[in-house]
Chains A and B, each alone.
Chain A
Amino acid sequence: MSIAFKKETFRDDFTFRNSPAAIRRFPFPFAEDSYMYSVNIEPHVPGKTGSVFEHPIDVDEHYVSEMEDRAKVLAEDPLRCQALPHMMTAQWDLLELLMECKSKSYPDIFTLTRNGDKWHWVNKALGIDDKFTFGDTSTLPYEPMEYITRQSQGDFAILDQRDNNLWMDAGMVTTQADWSLDFDIGMNFFEWHGPVPLAHQMGVFERALKFMLNLQHGQPVRRFNWTMTINPRLDTSPENYHKWGPDRTTVTPENVGGKVHLRVELQSFFRLPRSNAIVFPIRCYLISMQELVTIPKWGRRFHRVLKNLHPELADYKGLTRYRPTVVEWLSQYDDGAPTSPGWDPE
C-alpha cells in the first residue's frame, strides 16, 4: 500500500511519533506571528501534492492506529457516537461521501464497487471486505455513520438544516478537544458554540452561520482550529477529563519537547445531497514541540503566537497552567528573526 502505517498508541505509553515526512506536511495553522479568531473559511479545493489538502479526506501514516484508539474509546463509552432518529438519510449520505472520496484518492487501499444499491467496500488497511445494500441498515454491522467513521480519521458532526439554523443532530466524536457530543447533540449553531469566549461579540458566528446555510453541494469549504495537548492523547473528552486533566500539571522545562503537543483541527464542511444536511469532519493532527522546532520558522512563530495570546483564549483552550513553561522553552528557538507570511516551512 502507498502509505506505511505506523503502529503506535495515543494513551498509556504514548508511542505516537511523526515521521519526518509527516512533520513537513503538518498543517501549521499560523500564517502570521499572532492569532485571533476569524471566520477563516476558504474553499476546500485540492492543494499541493503531499499536503494535507491534496485530497478532500486525508489519510495518513497514523490511520490504522487512530482507528484502533477509536474502537477502544467506543468500547469504553458508546455515547460518543449518537444520531437522532431523523438523521438516517444523512448517515447514508455520509457513508457515500467518505467511501467515494477515499476510494478515489487512495485506490490501492480502498475500493468501492456500486451496482445499483448493491455495494461492495474493501478497506485493505483495516482488513475489511463488506457487501451491503445501500439504504438498508440491517445489511451492515453498524448504522452507516458509525460504520464508515470507524474507518475514518477525525471526528464527524452531521448538522441538520432547518428553521434558518444548523442543528448538531448526529456525530462520532472520539478525538475532540474537550466538548461532549452527548451533551451537545440536539443544539443549534449558536448554542453549541456558546462556551467559546470573545467570538460572540465579534459577530463571528452570525456571519459563519449565514455562510454555512448557503453552502453548495460540490463546493466544500475548510478552516483551521488549534489547541494544545499534553501527551499525544486523542481522547481529550470532558467525559474523561479527570483522567487526562492531571497531565497538564506534569509539564516541566525538561519534558516540554516530548510531552507538549500542538493540536490542529482541519475542519471541513460538505453539503450532503439527499438529506440537505452538512457534514463537518474535524480532522485532528498532533505534533510535539521537539518535532515542531525542527522547522525553524515554526519554532520562531509559535513562540510569538503563544507568548502574546489573549488570556481569555488561553484559558478557554486550557493552556493557562503550562503556558509560561512552554513559552520559556520555545524562546530558545526564537532568535527574533523575521518570519515569512503563510505557514509553509521556509
Chain B
Amino acid sequence: MLVSGIKSRPEYHGLTIDPYAKRRLFVLGGEGALALLEKPELKDAHFRAKAEILYVPQGSDHAATLRAVGTAGYWEAPTIPTLLVRLQVILSTAHMGLRLYAAGTEGFIGQVMQVGADAGINFNSIRTEHRGSLARRVSCVHCKGITENVTTSPAVCSHCGLTLLVRDHYSRRIGAFQGVCINAEVPAEIPPVEELFK
C-alpha cells in the first residue's frame, strides 16, 4: 500500500502523423499546441486541408499562432469541459479514416481519450504527446471523487477530505491516477508533502 514506485503509468509516444488518415483531428490543450506547431508536415497545404484543431488555451499564448496555420477547421474552447462536449459531438458522426491526436497535460489527454473510447476508438489508435505540467488528476479510491491539478503527494481529496498517497497506478477508463489514504494505519503519521508533479 505504501509503495509508490510502480510501473503501470501510461506512456505518450508523440504525435506521429498517420500518412493515410482521411481526416486528422488535433485536440490540444495549453502547451500541447507546440506539439502540432513543431510538425514539419504543417508546411504541406494538403496536410493542412485534412487537419482540424480543437484547442483550449489554458492560459498559454499559442491561440493566435494555431489559428493562423490555416487548417480546415479551428475551434477554440474556453475550458476543458466545453472542448470535450464539442469533441463528443464531432466524433458521434465521424467515420473510420479519422485519426485522433491529443497533446497537453496528462489530465487533458486522459479526458480526451475517454471521449474517444466512448465513441468507439481503440485507445491504441490515438496518438498522444505530453506537454506542459506534470500535474495529475487523482481518483480517490475511497469516495471515488476526482481531484484535479494535483502536484503533490500526499494530497487532500477535494471531495471527502482524506489525505491521499498519489500512486503511479493509472486507469484509462477513469482518466486518473489512484489515490489511497496515506495515514489509515496511524492517522498522525503523515509523510511530508512533496511537490512531485509540477
Contact = CB atoms under 8 A, between A and B. Distances in A.
Q: Classify A-B as touching or not with yes or no (CB < 8 A).
A: yes
A195 B181 contact: no
A315 interface: yes
Contacts of A186: 171-173
Interface in A239-280: 239-242, 245-246, 248-249
A180 B176 CA distance: 14
B93 interface: no
Given A182-B144, A183-B141, A194 B168 contact: yes
Given A180-B141, A239-B141, A315 B3 contact: yes
A61 interface: no
A183 to B, nearest CB: 5
Contact of A183 (B174, B181, B186): B174
B186 A246 contact: yes
Q: Chain B interface mostly helix, strand, loop or mixed?
A: loop
Interface residues of B, number: 29
Interface residues on A, range: 20 to 34
B6 A194 contact: yes
Contact of A195 (B139, B141, B169, B184): B169
Contact of B1 (A163, A240, A318): A318
Nearest to B5: A197
A8 interface: no
Nearest to B8: A194
B109 interface: no
B141 A315 contact: no
Given A187-B171, A195-B167, A242-B181, A79 B144 contact: yes
B2 A183 contact: no
A217 interface: no
Interface string A293-332: 0000000000000000000100110101100000000000
B7 A200 contact: yes
A231 B137 CA distance: 34
A327 to B, nearest CB: 19
A178 interface: yes
A21 B90 CA distance: 64
A241 B181 contact: yes
A249 B169 contact: no
A194 B184 contact: no
B173 A185 contact: yes
Contacts of B8: 187, 190-195
B162 interface: yes
22 contacts: A180-B141, A182-B144, A183-B178, A187-B172, A190-B8, A191-B172, A192-B8, A194-B8, A194-B168, A195-B167, A196-B6, A238-B141, A238-B142, A238-B178, A238-B180, A239-B142, A241-B141, A245-B181, A245-B185, A246-B186, A249-B185, A320-B2
Interface of B: 1-3, 5-9, 122, 124, 139, 141-142, 144, 162, 167-174, 178, 180-181, 184-186
Interface of A: 79, 163, 178, 180, 182-187, 190-197, 200, 238-242, 245-246, 248-249, 312, 315-316, 318, 320-321
In the A-B complex, the 8 residue pairs with the closest CB atoms: A194-B8, A245-B184, A186-B173, A242-B184, A245-B185, A195-B6, A238-B141, A242-B181
Given A238-B178, A239-B142, A242-B142, 7 more contacts: A182-B141, A183-B169, A186-B172, A191-B8, A192-B8, A195-B167, A238-B142
